[in-house]
Structure 1
Amino acid sequence: MGGMTGERRLGRPRSEGTRTAILTAALEELESGGYAALTIDGIARRAGCGKQTIYRWWPSKADVVLEALLERAETTIEIPDEGSLSDDLLAFLTATFRQRGQRPTLVGLMAQALLDPVFATAFKEKFLFRRRAALRVVLERAAARGELAEGADLELLMDVVYGVLWYRLLLDHAPLDEPAAERLAALIVRATR
């Protein structure tokens, strides 16, 4: 055991293939069975590695999934600069709502965050707050162009946007599609005038 830390440091770059296999396996397991049925066992089996390998790098299945999500190309946040708040918001919300295919994953991570305060911190900082920061850039640019009413409450506006997103993700009672993005963008623009 004595040499473990040294081996681990060396082993990490060498086993990039294993790491990628684990992250891919986690997403595939999610697609096939959903978050509740996801287990470290299942991920390990699909990735062709031992459970210990996974636990060495991630404390829980939620952490594996979060990292897999962050690595996925479509999670990169494009910050549009179309020249007006309505165009920027529409581009931002359309791109954000396109991630509705990740609904089972996102709902599972939110459920985990509600149960696990340590994971909640990671989820907020690495995922939720990064998205919020991107939307803040859109709103601050609009403010700099003079498009927002004096004293507009940016925090509340961001809560409205992500409130709608998460409410619809969690309840699945109404669509997250392009028309929804258009209506929400229009609502925010009206609220800022």
Structure 2
Amino acid sequence: MGPGRPRSEKARQAILTAALEELEEHGYAALTMQGIAARAGAGKQTIYRWWPSKADVVLDALVDLAAARITVPDEGSLPADLDAFLAATFRERGQRKILVGLMAEALLDPAFAAAFRERFLFARRAALREILGRAVERGEIADGIDPELLIDVVYGVVWYRLMIGHAPLDEAAGRELTALLLRAVTPR
């Protein structure tokens, strides 16, 4: 944010909430700064002063949402941690419009792609990496297993199902993925 009045947290939250509501109602393609401003009761110029594009507004909203709803569990074991993490991740399937819209934007805009990776995608990967790291320390993952590949497997399933929509992305799928990962990584 450049010079000028500091952001009001209340106005910021109203704008982010309005962006999510507009997305839910109209979808990413129809989302406009004007629509966000009208719903938030804010000036369009205020939104543009704080965010350069609708994608940046939505990214901020998504980062806040993920931080609040998908925590890094520490249940004491890899099965319990994975189950809790993937259940919370897959429970957020209602965010499909947001995620698919942002991924499409990232494919078209390299600058936004970098922000999306750094602020959202890498943060989600770090959360899963923390869970896997604790499991390695407890001896729950066999030697020679590449944690980055495991992370790719998890998010590959998430993104593939989000983008293609060919199979459910729900808590049952999260439990199945947990079971599959545990069979693959458990020391023999």
TM-score when normalising by structure 1: 0.89
**Is residue 43 from structure 1 mapped to residue 36 from structure 2 by the alignment?**
yes
User: 1:45, CA displacement in angstroms?
Assistant: 2.0
Instruction: Give, as a single letter, the amino acid of the residue that structure 2 aligns with 1:40.
Output: M
- Quick one: which of 3, 12, 18 aligns to 1:25? 18
Unmatched tracts of structure 1, length 5 or more: none
**Is residue 57 from structure 1 mapped to residue 50 from structure 2 by the alignment?**
yes
Residue number in structure 1 paired with 2:6:
12
Instruction: Give, as a single letter, the amino acid of the residue that structure 2 aligns with 1:12.
Output: P
Residue number in structure 1 paired with 2:128:
135
- Provide the rounded CA distance (Å) in 1 between the counterparts of 2:143 and 2:9: 50
User: 1:25, CA displacement in angstroms?
Assistant: 1.4
Residue number in structure 1 paired with 2:77:
84
Residue number in structure 2 paired with 1:184:
177
- Provide the rounded CA distance (Å) in 2 between the counterparts of 1:191 and 1:73: 27
- Quick one: which of 77, 88, 100 aligns to 1:95? 88
TM-score when normalising by structure 2: 0.92
Contact 1:77/1:134 (CA < 8 Å) preserved in 2? Answer: no
User: 1:166, CA displacement in angstroms?
Assistant: 0.6
Q: Which has the larger radius of gyration?
A: 1
Root-mean-square deviation over aligned CA pairs? 1.7
**Is residue 166 from structure 1 mapped to residue 159 from structure 2 by the alignment?**
yes
User: 1:19, CA displacement in angstroms?
Assistant: 2.2
Equivalences, count: 185
User: 1:73, CA displacement in angstroms?
Assistant: 6.8
User: 1:114, CA displacement in angstroms?
Assistant: 0.9
Deviates more, 1:167-176 or 1:47-56: 47-56
User: 1:21, CA displacement in angstroms?
Assistant: 2.1
User: 1:29, CA displacement in angstroms?
Assistant: 0.8
Unmatched tracts of structure 2, length 5 or more: none
Contact 1:25/1:47 (CA < 8 Å) preserved in 2? Answer: yes
